[in-house]
Amino acid sequence: MPGVIGVIQATETIKLIVGEGDPLVGRLLMYDSLGMKFREIRIRRDPNCPLCGDNPTITELMNYQELCGLEAPAEAGVAD
């Protein structure tokens, strides 16, 4: 199953980069691996969304390490 999802993600990325095909913009693709079925749902933009709405309140990425009180190991090479 992870391979199927990975291929779909890679295909969507390539479609966006090269500007060809019909990327899943404004749509959600659902995959039922047990029934081997796909379902597509249209998603509308919410004007009240705190991230992409008319008046966004989320304006920067969250530092999850700081939020969780975690420190990255020095050998991980995480940039500041």
> How confident is the model at residue 71, as a pLDDT?
74
> 13-50: buried (b, 16+ CB within 10 Å) or exposed (e) per residue?
eeeeeeeeeeebeeeeeeeeeeeeeeeeeeeeeeeeee
Cα-only R_g, the chain: 18
> pTM for the complete prediction?
0.59
Domain boundaries, the chain: 2-73
Number of helices and strands in the chain (H, E): 2, 2
For 20, the 3-state DSSP assignment is coil
Residues 3-37: tens digit of each pLDDT: 899 999 999 999 999 999 999 999 999 999 999 99
Average pLDDT, the chain: 88
Q: Looking at residue 54, what DSSP letter applies?
A: S
**pLDDT category of residue 38 using cuts at 50, 70 and 90:** very high
Task: Tokens for 40, please give them.
Answer: 């597509």
